[in-house]
Amino acid sequence: MTPMWEAMLGSGLGRVEREAAMVQDTPLRRFGTVGEVAAAAVYLASDESGYTTGAELVIDGGLLAGSAVSPGRAEEG
């Protein structure tokens, strides 16, 4: 949850509902925090990541790994 979301989420009435709708297909059912992204960056910048090469860290709450929605799939009905 960073300022880039403010334009989409707005403020006042309905914000909580808009937040819930945006994360409904995310397995963790919530927005990530600035601290969670920062922790990954700190790891990569630290000596602890010394044996990490060619890796891609996806920090998306599991959206790509476990979303029930498939991009481009037509809705059946």
* pLDDT at residue 52 in the model: 94
| Structure token digits, residue 37 | 């992204």
Instruction: Give yes or no for residue 1 having a pLDDT over 60.
Output: yes
Predicted confidence (pLDDT) per residue in 19-72, tens digit: 999 888 888 999 999 999 999 999 999 999 999 998 899 998 888 886 555 555
* DSSP-derived secondary structure letter, 5: G
- SS3 per-residue string spanning 23-56: HCCCCCCCCCCHHHHHHHHHHHHCHHHCCCCCCC
What's the pLDDT score for residue 37?
93
70: which 2 tokens?
A: 């498939």
Overall pTM surpassing 0.75 (yes/no): no
